[in-house]
A = this chain, B = another copy of it.
Amino acid sequence: MTYCIAINLDQGLLFGGDTRTNAGVDHISTYKKLFTFSNGSTHAIAILCSGNLATSQHLIESLRREIELEEDNLLSKDSLFDCAKHAGRILYDIIQESAHNESDKLGDFSSNLLLGGQIKGERPRLFMIYPQGNFIEATRETPYFQIGEHKYGKPIIDRTIRYDLPLEQALNSTLISLDSTIKSNLSVGLPMDILLYEKDSYDLSRYRRIEEYDEDLLNMRQYWSNGLKQLLEELPTPKI
């Protein structure tokens, strides 16, 4: 499985994803699920993938080839909406091509995407793209999307993320959401990839891969666990 989350806030965008892929419990590998496309000045786009690895690798390769070889590509669009439409269509075609019968199509070959970023002339935007190729956009009221094993890491996001939250604070929620999922579910695993995009920067260099024994991660985890325990001790408990 996979756990990826992306958040669209007033100050910019956040992307986080684990890197575990598995078929059953005995075929486990590490693969990147976060990919970026940028020209450094007018287009800054990131994609997170869940689902079938062959499908998502095929998609990313197709998008990269187009940028190299064709005029119509992710970096030629005037709106991120059109990028989502474009990626959605390619995703749908790949699934159709791999599937040999109807039940395959939305089953094993399926993949979901989060596509976010900014194109000059627009605010930063974020889309969740379905295997059918259609998509929805994040809004002020619902500024985040999750794909994959989303349940474990949802409560912390539901309790803390608001559109006007500073990016650095939302980063903390994102890291805890990812770390909690990794701790509670074997099919989601370290290292994790984090990308932070500041509005109007068109810069995708604030990226970091966090490995298992990363000292910052261990510090954060320790601080969080201790903090939760203390908070629980002080919690005004309903009398039972």
| Chain A residues within CB distance 8 Å of chain B | 149, 151-156, 158-160, 168-169, 171-173, 175-176, 180-181, 183-185, 194-196, 206-208, 210, 214, 216-217, 219-220, 223-225, 227-229, 231-240
Contact = CB atoms under 8 A, between A and B. Distances in A.
A101 to B, nearest CB: 21
A184 B184 CA distance: 17
B214 A235 contact: no
Contacts of A151: 149, 151-152, 184-185
Contacts of A207: 240
Contact of A159 (B172, B228, B235): B228
A21 to B, nearest CB: 20
A175 B184 CA distance: 19
A171 B232 CA distance: 9
Contacts of A154: 152, 184
Contact of A176 (B169, B173, B232): B232
A220 B237 contact: yes
Contact of A240 (B155, B206, B233, B235): B206
Contact of A155 (B172, B180, B236): B180
Contacts of A156: 155, 228
B152 A237 contact: no
A232 B160 contact: yes
Given A155-B153, A155-B183, A220 B236 contact: yes
Nearest to A236: B219
Contact of A168 (B195, B219, B237): B237
B227 A231 contact: yes
Contacts of A220: 235-238
A57 to B, nearest CB: 25
